[in-house]
Amino acid sequence: MDRVNAIINKQFRNMKQFNLSLKLNNKNMFNFSKAKVLYYVRRFLLYLLLLDLSYVFIYPVIHMVITSFKNMQDFMDITIRWIPNRVFYENYKLALTLLDYKTGFFNSLIITVLCTTGHLISSSFIGYGFARYKFPGHNFLFGIVILSIIIPVQVIIVPLFYEFTQLFRLLDSRIPIILPTFFGYGLRGGLYVFLFRQYFINLPKELEEAAKIDGCGKIRTHFKIILPVAASVCMVTVVLSMVWHWNDHFEPRVYLFTPKKQTLMHGLPKLFADLEKIKESLLSGDKSKVTFSDEMAEKFLKEVSINAVLMAAVNVSILPVLIVYSFLQKKFVQGIESAGIKG
Amino acid sequence: MNGRIKILNKKIHVKNEYEGYLYILPWLIGTILFFCYPVYKTVVISLSRITTYTGLVTEWIGLENYKRIFTRDVSFLPNFITVIKDTFINIPLILVFALFIAVIVDKDIKWKGFFRGIFILPFLLGSGYIFKTVIGIEVDEGVTTVSQGINLPAPILAYMGARFTQVIRIFLDRISLILLKSPIQTIVFLGALQSIPVSLYESAKCDGATEWEMFWKITLPSLVNQILFNIIFTLVESFTDLSNPVIDSIMGAWFTDKNYEYTAAMGWVYLLFITLVSAIIFVIWGHMNKTKKEQY
């Protein structure tokens, strides 16, 4: 037994030495082959390109964030391009109060959540209908879906506005924005129908047939089987609809006019006008329009620049979407991968 | 017996087909309410003169408004032409850049998630609007600020002279704007790239294909559908974009001038063009799919 052990030990030691020598050899190898050099050069260029491109993409964001912390002196100073002398929080305070952030946030939230739900439910049903059933005229009707994607809302907005406000008596309400999403319309509603249809066309029929044989109703099959199977498309729909609705400023601007129902994106251009008005009135010594204290007003005149406040407001209003998206990003990209937008 | 089964099958089939209407019922209602009615109304308005605004009561005048667009309006045709020109320059560029970025990010690199996140950023910033109103405030053209991101050092430009500088400026502006407009297209391409089986590339490699050849022979042919989808998407996006002068004038006419009849006519001319272009693309798409099926 001892002999066997000794032999094994010896062998093992030999192996170790051999490994060590290999490592040493590798370390001493300075003569790279041509292919390897080429590989490293290409890698280097690739990363350079990536960083370069990402700079272009990230530049507006950096610019926005940094500008939002600048005060008047920083703007005047030519030497400052990137980093301001000190962090100036006043911009954010002003932006939050003037934008009426709380109400704006909740209004945006209501519209975004309801519209996204609407798009998800309606377009999954409609897309399924178009994909599975060859009813008479389905090609023609699907053509209308495509047409509804292509036609800009701006072209038909006045008749729509007239329809909602005068025929349905929905003045200054969120319903004109929310209701169409439950019918497969609304902000790019056709696109989601299109996505769902393309996904279901390539899906095998067996699943639903099995459910049907087991006595599962149509609606139950839809929610229990089809939606989970199409989870990737659902994810894509949710993210796209969410981001577009949050950032939409056109429809809120048309349908909502009281400040109580203002969304965040809707409030931004108004904020700009408000700030200029306030500045003007302060300069002329008239304090009737100013809502904040005298101390703040003085600061406003001396130190605050309108651009910086605006940037702060933009940052604050984009922030919720950024946060939600950062949680969903991985699944979203995966979703697009597996949804595989097909023709 | 066989015949009976066939008939039975047919009956089931017919019954099934009509069930489809049940699924798209909400959409049908929506189409009548939110699509057909407004579209019909815009057509009527464009062909008539509004007598009272409260009920949109109209009086038929025929093609008068359309005549006005092409004979009397000074700004519409130039705007329209710039839009067409911009679109046809921008679409190929956006597609190329999106594909380029997707191919780079798809490679096995470090910090993949980080780069992907960055290339999607413009989409989260609310395409167009924020870039236009917020970044564009400092300079007259919102674009120039964006291109400062890839600004060239000033001495070089000073040495080259004014004209060259301008050309470079415009070039960089356009490219950076296009980069910022391409996030969705990039994601679509990225998704498609990931679904191409690796075995294809491996077998091509075994046969001695270079990466360049593989791109043209494997990657591009399997992306045909995505390319067409992206063309349509970019088209729609650029046609509804706020920086689009035609949309700008339409909006101005709707909301500030309250010149509804004329705007509706303008919208229809514009729409006809969009529909024509998209129809051509869809026909090509359908044709390609057909030939693809015949190949199998």
d(CA B15, CA B18): 6
Which pLDDT does position B4 carry in this prediction? Answer: 57
B218 has a chain A CB within 8 A of its CB: no
- Are A150 and B278 inside 8 Å of each other by CB? yes
Angle (CA) A205-A206-A209 rounded to 5° is: 95
**Which domain does A319 fall in, by range?**
69-343
Q: A194 and A141 in contact (C-beta within 8 Å)?
A: no
At B220, phi and psi to the nearest 5?
-65, -45
DSSP state letter for B153: P
B239 has a chain A CB within 8 A of its CB: yes
Residues 123-162 of A with CB under 8 A from B: 125-126, 128-130, 132-136, 138, 141, 144-160, 162
DSSP state letter for B141: S
d(CA A314, CA A324): 16
In one letter, which amino acid is B273? F
CATH number of the domain within which A284 lies: 1.10.3720.10
Contacts of A160 (CB under 8 A, 6+ apart): A153, A176, B34, B38
Confidence of residue A111 (pLDDT cuts 50, 70, 90): very high
Average pLDDT taken over every residue of chain A: 80
d(CA B48, CA B53): 13
Q: Report chain A residues whose CB lies below 8 A from the CB of B126.
A: 243, 246-249, 265, 318
Residue written as tokens 């990363």?
A: A47
Contacts of A343 (CB under 8 A, 6+ apart): A198, B224, B225, B228, B229, B285, B288, B289
A22 has a chain B CB within 8 A of its CB: no
Residue written as tokens 């008596």?
A: A169
User: Residue B11 pLDDT more than 70?
Assistant: no
Q: A225 and A207 in contact (C-beta within 8 Å)?
A: yes
Please indicate, yes or no, if residue A6 is contained in any of the structural domains: no
B107 has a chain A CB within 8 A of its CB: yes
The dihedral sign for the CA sequence B233, A191, B40, B38: negative
Q: Report chain B residues whose CB lies below 8 A from the CB of A134.
A: 17, 20
Q: Which domains does chain B have, with CATH numbers?
A: 74-295 (1.10.3720.10)
Q: B212 and A89 in contact (C-beta within 8 Å)?
A: no
Residues 112-141 of B with CB under 8 A from A: 113, 115-127, 129-131, 133-135, 137-138
Contacts of A56 (CB under 8 A, 6+ apart): B146, B149, B150, B176, B179, B180
Q: B187 and B117 in contact (C-beta within 8 Å)?
A: no
Contacts of B27 (CB under 8 A, 6+ apart): A122, A126, A129, A145, A183, A184, A193
Confidence of residue B146 (pLDDT cuts 50, 70, 90): very low
pLDDT tens profile B161-185: 667 767 776 777 677 777 777 888 8
Pick left, alpha or beta for residue A172 (phi over 0 → left; psi -120 to 50 → alpha; otherwise beta). Answer: left
| Nearest C-alpha neighbor of A192 from the set A180, A177, A175 | A180
Length of chain A measured in residues: 343
B26 has a chain A CB within 8 A of its CB: yes
Which pLDDT does position A116 carry in this prediction? Answer: 93
Contacts of A12 (CB under 8 A, 6+ apart): none
- Are A57 and B180 inside 8 Å of each other by CB? yes
d(CA A105, CA A298): 29
Which pLDDT does position A114 carry in this prediction? Answer: 94
Give the global pTM.
Answer: 0.82
Q: Is B150 exposed, middle or buried (0-12, 13-18, 19+ CB in 10 A)?
A: middle
DSSP class per residue in A143-165: HHHHHHHHS-HHHHHHHHHHIII
CA distances from residue A13 to A3, A21, A22, B190 in whole angstroms, order as listed: 15, 12, 14, 50
d(CA B121, CA B131): 12
Q: Report chain A residues whose CB lies below 8 A from the CB of B115.
A: 50, 54
- Are A329 and B116 inside 8 Å of each other by CB? yes
Q: What is the dihedral of CA B230, B235, B238, B239, to 10 degrees?
A: -150
Contacts of B292 (CB under 8 A, 6+ apart): none
Please indicate, yes or no, if residue A161 is contained in any of the structural domains: yes
Please indicate, yes or no, if residue A58 is contained in any of the structural domains: no
Kindly provide the residue ranges of all beta strands, DSSP E only, lying in chain B, ordered along the sequence: 48-52, 57-60
Lowest mean pLDDT among A159-168, A244-253, B6-15, B257-266: B6-15
Task: Write out the two tokens for B62.
Answer: 């025929």
pLDDT tens profile A152-198: 888 888 888 888 888 888 888 888 889 999 998 888 888 899 888 88
Q: Report chain A residues whose CB lies below 8 A from the CB of B236.
A: 149-150, 152
Q: Give B42→chain A minimum CA distance, Å.
A: 7
3-class SS of residue B60: strand
B240 has a chain A CB within 8 A of its CB: yes
The domain tally of chain A equals 1
Confidence of residue B295 (pLDDT cuts 50, 70, 90): low
Residues 44-103 of A with CB under 8 A from B: 46-47, 49-50, 52-61, 63-64
In one letter, which amino acid is A249? H
3-class SS of residue A247: helix
Please indicate, yes or no, if residue A248 is contained in any of the structural domains: yes
Average pLDDT taken over every residue of chain B: 76
pLDDT tens profile B177-207: 777 778 888 888 888 888 788 888 888 888 8
Please indicate, yes or no, if residue A9 is contained in any of the structural domains: no
3-class SS of residue A297: helix
Q: Regarding predicted confidence, which is higher, A147 or B5? A: A147
- Are B30 and A340 inside 8 Å of each other by CB? no
| Nearest C-alpha neighbor of B130 from the set A315, A55, A155 | A315
| Nearest C-alpha neighbor of B132 from the set B122, B121, B118, B117 | B122
Q: Report chain A residues whose CB lies below 8 A from the CB of B45.
A: 158-159
- Are A183 and B29 inside 8 Å of each other by CB? yes
The predicted complex's ipTM stands at: 0.80
- Are B39 and A156 inside 8 Å of each other by CB? yes
| Nearest C-alpha neighbor of B122 from the set B208, B183, B45, B44 | B183
Residue written as tokens 């490699």?
A: B205
At B59, phi and psi to the nearest 5?
-130, 130
Please indicate, yes or no, if residue A36 is contained in any of the structural domains: no
3-class SS of residue B239: helix
Taking CB atoms and an 8 Å cut-off, how many pairs form between chains A and B? 253
Q: Regarding predicted confidence, which is higher, B140 or B172? A: B172
Q: Which residue of B has its CA nearest to A318?
A: B125
Q: Report chain A residues whose CB lies below 8 A from the CB of B121.
A: 57-58, 61
Please indicate, yes or no, if residue A218 is contained in any of the structural domains: yes
Out of B23, B39, B240, name the one closest to residue A133 (CB): B23
Confidence of residue B145 (pLDDT cuts 50, 70, 90): very low
Report the DSSP pairing between strands B48-52 and B57-60.
Answer: antiparallel
Q: Report chain A residues whose CB lies below 8 A from the CB of B26.
A: 122, 125-126, 182-184
Please indicate, yes or no, if residue A170 is contained in any of the structural domains: yes
Q: Report chain A residues whose CB lies below 8 A from the CB of B107.
A: 46
The dihedral sign for the CA sequence A314, A320, A322, A325: negative
Q: Report chain A residues whose CB lies below 8 A from the CB of B263.
A: 158
At B49, phi and psi to the nearest 5?
-115, 135
Q: What is the dihedral of CA B196, B201, B202, B207, to 10 degrees?
A: 150
Q: How far apart are the first and last CA of chain A?
A: 71
3-class SS of residue B280: helix
pLDDT tens profile B85-116: 888 888 888 899 899 888 888 877 788 778 88
Helix (H) or strand (E) holding B143: helix B142-147
Test mutation, B13, B15, B17, B24, chain A, max A CBs within 10 A: B24
User: Residue B143 pLDDT more than 60?
Assistant: no
Which pLDDT does position B141 carry in this prediction? Answer: 39
Q: A115 and A189 in contact (C-beta within 8 Å)?
A: no
